[in-house]
Structure 1
């Protein structure tokens, strides 16, 4: 088994562009007409699907409301990723910081309002 996540949104294309441009995600599948896209980064997969599709069960028709979710991207060098994303013009929602448990991270927000936590676990300078 493996675990992956899907987000129901009107912003399928914007989401694809965001994750491909900022993180270099690979497009595994894109539905004709842009109704669905499946992305991969490392071993993780993230999908975006347009809401209200008659072909989908009712539970898969309602769009994400834009709150209460985040995704994490693990980085080998979070400082380098911070500089790279700033150079690409990404809007930084939480500036680069160290946490007491040893993580160093920052957050950008995707087109759906989902926080993308770019994190380096237990970085060398951690207390």
Structure 2
């Protein structure tokens, strides 16, 4: 078994400056590495995310295409989804799914960053009885 110690996603995007500005200004991430073709950000709680420009000759072919914007969701958990939603609206962020509660135990909304990445802003709560058995305790 491979033992992991942390995780981060890297999105291959067209605009590093837009990514840097969006995540630092709106979500409180800090830049820990900023190169010509790659940036790496980290939040105060330790969430990491990287952004890389497409078509980098130093990268293998499988890491060269820009993210098309669909087929992935970057979820960020918050303490208070209602408060986060009000902030998102006040900052005129691109809200693509309004605030709603789900029976499986989430209150959430979705925004889209300038490079097309969907961010699901999630607050967890107790699921309805129908979904309780789906959770694994441990």
TM-score between the two structures when normalised by the length of structure 2 = 0.83
Q: For the residues of structure 2 that align with 1:112 and 1:68, how far apart are their CA atoms? A: 14
How much has 1:23 moved relative to structure 2?
Answer: 0.5
Question: Equivalent residue of 1:64, what SS?
Answer: coil
How is 1:94-113 mapped onto 2 (pairs within 5 angstroms)?
94-113=97-116
Question: Equivalent residue of 2:6, what SS?
Answer: coil
Aligned position for 1:78: 81
The match for 2:23 among 19, 25, 35 is 19
Unaligned runs of 5+ in 1: none
- Are the aligned partners of 2:97 and 2:109 in contact in 1 as well (CA < 8 Å)? yes
- The structure with the largest alpha-carbon Rg is 2
Question: Equivalent residue of 1:66, what SS?
Answer: coil
Count of matched residue positions in the alignment of Structure 1 and Structure 2:
123
The match for 2:70 among 55, 63, 67 is 67
| 1:28 maps to 2:29 | no
Q: For the residues of structure 2 that align with 1:56 and 1:39, how far apart are their CA atoms? A: 20
How much has 1:43 moved relative to structure 2?
Answer: 2.0
Aligned position for 1:2: 6
Question: Equivalent residue of 2:74, what SS?
Answer: strand
How is 1:84-95 mapped onto 2 (pairs within 5 angstroms)?
84-95=87-98
Question: Equivalent residue of 1:21, what SS?
Answer: helix
Aligned position for 2:132: none
Unaligned runs of 5+ in 2: 129-138
* RMSD of aligned Cα (Å): 1.4
Aligned position for 1:39: 41
